[in-house]
Every structure is written in C-alpha cells, then in structure tokens.
Chain A
C-alpha cells in the first residue's frame, strides 16, 4: 500500500482494479489547512487520463506489475509477438498498446515487456536504437532555403528530421523517448 505522502510523478498505483501512472503531481496546502495531493494519471492499459486531488488520509494499492526481458519476434497484422528468452514462452501485444513504440521495433530486439496481472500491456524500449535509413532525398548543395534538417524514413517506416549529410543506407541512432535523431552510426 502507498500513503498519500508517497505520491509523486512516475509512481504507479492501482485504482478500481486498473494500473495508473502519475504523469503530473502537485502538492498543495492552503494556509493552516490540510495537505492535498493533486495527481494527473494515465491508465497504463487504455491510455485514458484523469486528474484527481487526494487527501493525506487516503491509501493506494500497488498494482501487480512485472517486467520481463523478452525478444521481439515478428508481427502479424496488428499483433506483435514476443518471446521470453528464459522459458521460450510467447505472447503478443497489440499495435494500439504499443503506441509510438511500434516505430522503433526491430526483429530480435531485446526489451522489457510489462505485465499487469500476468497480461502484457506494454514495452519499455532501450533508450537508443540504431535504424537503417531507407528513404532520403539527396541534399541539394547550395540549398539556400536555410533549412538545416531534412526528412528521412527508416526501416520501420518511421519518418523524422535529420541533418542534411544523412543518406540512404546510413544507420542512425534515435532516442526512443523523444523519437529524435541523435547521431549517425559508423559500422
């Protein structure tokens, strides 16, 4: 159980049988009054968000969350299949549950799959992934438009802005938290 004074940004709590993560947190306490804990929360399964203010006497259950290290195998339509590298058990996660993460999945990638009550609900990617550029417009030398980036597409179909010197066939490193270009990778 968590007490209200444990609440903070990033904490995961269970409400009405559902796991929530606190995405925004504000402590307040009007002069001589009670402490109040205002939380913005996201349902870790549905993605729905809501805001609620709690008082210091409230208690919260800890959600039964477990992370397992797994390997991404393949996708079949909107089902993305993963395998537990310890016991070879397989499971799948839907495209909807993966959200933006789908942009960075590579075959045989090792990552953490999050389970709630033994059902997979999401993945935690490595912070940096290296992906091959599959489509890039050549950079016109003498381009005077003043743009210092150009759009490219990588092997997963994800498009992003990169510096002009990146060409088709390059491997680039991407920050999966922001989806932004980090650097060109030499191999």
Chain B
C-alpha cells in the first residue's frame, strides 16, 4: 500500500497529466471498459467479464471518436491483460492514451517530450532517472539490431527471435542517458499502424524507452479500412483461429475508420512511468495496492 507521501505524489502526477492535455486543447473522454468483442491481437490474452471482456486498450473506441469529429482526445483508464505479471507487468494497470487527427507518429514523439518536461517542472518530488534536455535519442529497429544483435532484423524475424533479441540485447541499452524512441517496426509487428510511404516494409510505429523500460507505444494510424480488415485476418491466422464464427470483425470500427484521413495515437503505461518518477524498481511498490496486498 502506498504511504501518504506517495499517494499524494501519485495524485499530483495524474492531475498534472490532465492539465497538460487540457492546456493543449485535448478533450478528456471515457469509453466502455467491458467490450463484447476484443481487438484481434496475437499476443494479448483478455480477461473475461461475463460474456464480455475487459479492455486491453481503449484503442478502437478512441479512433471511433476521432471519426465522429474529435480533433484531439485523451483518456486515462484501466486496462487488463490476462497472465501478465512480473516486476514490470500487472494484469490490471493504468493506461494513458491520446490521439490526434491530422498528425503522424513524429507529432506524438514531440508530445512525449513536452509531457515529460511538463511533469518534471510541475510535479514536486518527481524525479526522472535520466536527463530530459535536448532532443531525445531516436534509433530505428533496423539500426538497433545492427548495433546490438548478432543477426539482422529480417533474420531475427525469420528465426522467430525478434522478441527475444529485443528484450535481451536491445532494450537494456535504450534510454539509459536520455529517453529513446525505437521506431519503424517491421510491418507484420504493427497490425494497426500505417506503412511508411518511403519504406513500405516498415510501419510508422515507435516505442518510448527510459532506463531500459518500455513506456509507450505510438503510431501513425492505419486508416485504410480494407487494409485494416486484411491485417486483422492475418492476426486471426497467426492466432490459429480457423473457426469462421470466431473470426469476428469489429465492423463498426472498420466502418468508422473510413471517415478518418490522417491520425496518430499512443498508449503509455502510467504505472511504469510513475514507478520511475517515484524512484521504485517494481510496479508492486508504485501502485496503490499491489496484487499481493489484496484479500484472497
């Protein structure tokens, strides 16, 4: 359980985030946590809730709000991912997501820089573990594999070692002196992101790292509805879902996506960010109650 000092720090942290986005003209929104249909994603297991599921991210509903005419929106909400527990994972966690119409992933990177600098300036007693000054580091996934791994990114993908090498060889180096953006992911690892015009084999997706810890995942949104449908089909194939009846497409989402031209969105794990700002090294001591402290 957090002590009084840290409860106050956590409250000030959330409040500052809201002020930052409100000041930038973002509208705070809320969307359903219980959803009948989940985002088809290979590596995410959902927590059932009756005949529904608890959200793993509000992503699809945030994009539907963009389609309805919202320019800039943000949400702070609880997300759930079944079976994820460890020093840096909780099955229930707090996510910040924000979306911009007429923007791409580089706009989101600037948002991250400004948000963190705002928090550093405005929240008393919050201490970033690295310097935020100057332009943050940017390294493409291809460069990172060249620099830190024995094999290229393509070879790693072929051998199904991408995630392993990322975790073991690359992540420990990222964001150790200054926050780092790892960007331009292989297209197959970004099922909701837009292909890069100048390099169509990669998607305009990035992850933000600080002290070797992944904090956020952002991308230029894939807004081509037909292409999005076929990406979902590919995810179903990877998930091994052969039953046609189980391959349920989020049709309202795909319909609304047609109304969006350009957009970008990002999801940031706030418990992890707070953990770093509060000088903790495990989520268990950064959230109000850790899973071990719940009555069984």
Q: Give the B-binding residues of A (Cβ under 8 A).
A: 5, 25-36, 38, 53, 55
Task: Assess A30 versus B171: contact at CB under 8 Å? Given A35-B43, A36-B163, A53-B164.
Answer: yes
Task: Assess A27 versus B89: contact at CB under 8 Å? Given A33-B163, A35-B83, A53-B167.
Answer: yes
CB distance from B194 to the nearest CB of A (A): 15
Q: Mark B85-106, 1 if CB is under 8 A from A, else 0.
A: 1111100000000000000000
A27 and B84 form a contact (CB under 8 A): yes
In the bound assembly, the distance between CA atoms of A17 and B164 in angstroms comes to 25
- Please give 13 more A-B residue pairs, beta carbons under 8 A apart, in addition to A27-B84, A27-B86, A53-B167: A26-B86, A26-B87, A27-B85, A27-B88, A30-B171, A30-B207, A31-B214, A31-B217, A32-B41, A35-B43, A35-B84, A38-B167, A55-B164
Q: Give the A-binding residues of B (Cβ under 8 A).
A: 41, 43-44, 83-89, 162-164, 166-168, 171, 189-190, 207, 214, 217
What 8 A-B pairs come out closest when comparing CB atoms?
A: A27-B86, A33-B163, A31-B217, A34-B163, A30-B166, A28-B167, A31-B207, A30-B163
A28 and B189 form a contact (CB under 8 A): no
Residues of A within 8 Å of B88, CB to CB, are 27-28
Identify the closest chain A residue to B208 (Cβ): A31
Task: Assess A33 versus B86: contact at CB under 8 Å? Given A28-B167, A53-B167, A53-B168.
Answer: no
In the bound assembly, the distance between CA atoms of A27 and B166 in angstroms comes to 14
Residues of B within 8 Å of A27, CB to CB, are 84-89
Residues of A within 8 Å of B167, CB to CB, are 28, 30, 36, 38, 53
Residues of B within 8 Å of A35, CB to CB, are 43, 83-84
In the bound assembly, the distance between CA atoms of A5 and B86 in angstroms comes to 12
Residues of A within 8 Å of B164, CB to CB, are 36, 53, 55
In the bound assembly, the distance between CA atoms of A87 and B86 in angstroms comes to 45
In the bound assembly, the distance between CA atoms of A5 and B91 in angstroms comes to 14
Identify the closest chain A residue to B83 (Cβ): A5
A33 and B189 form a contact (CB under 8 A): yes
In the bound assembly, the distance between CA atoms of A26 and B172 in angstroms comes to 14
B86 and A28 form a contact (CB under 8 A): yes
In the bound assembly, the distance between CA atoms of A55 and B87 in angstroms comes to 17
In the bound assembly, the distance between CA atoms of A185 and B280 in angstroms comes to 40
In the bound assembly, the distance between CA atoms of A29 and B89 in angstroms comes to 8
A33 and B168 form a contact (CB under 8 A): no
Residues of B within 8 Å of A36, CB to CB, are 163-164, 167
Of the A-B pairs whose beta carbons lie under 8 Å apart in the complex, a sample of 12, sorted by A's number, is A5-B83, A27-B85, A27-B88, A28-B86, A28-B88, A28-B167, A29-B84, A30-B167, A30-B207, A36-B163, A36-B164, A53-B164
Residues of A within 8 Å of B89, CB to CB, are 27-29
In the bound assembly, the distance between CA atoms of A36 and B171 in angstroms comes to 13
Identify the closest chain B residue to A28 (Cβ): B167
In the bound assembly, the distance between CA atoms of A55 and B159 in angstroms comes to 13
Identify the closest chain B residue to A27 (Cβ): B86
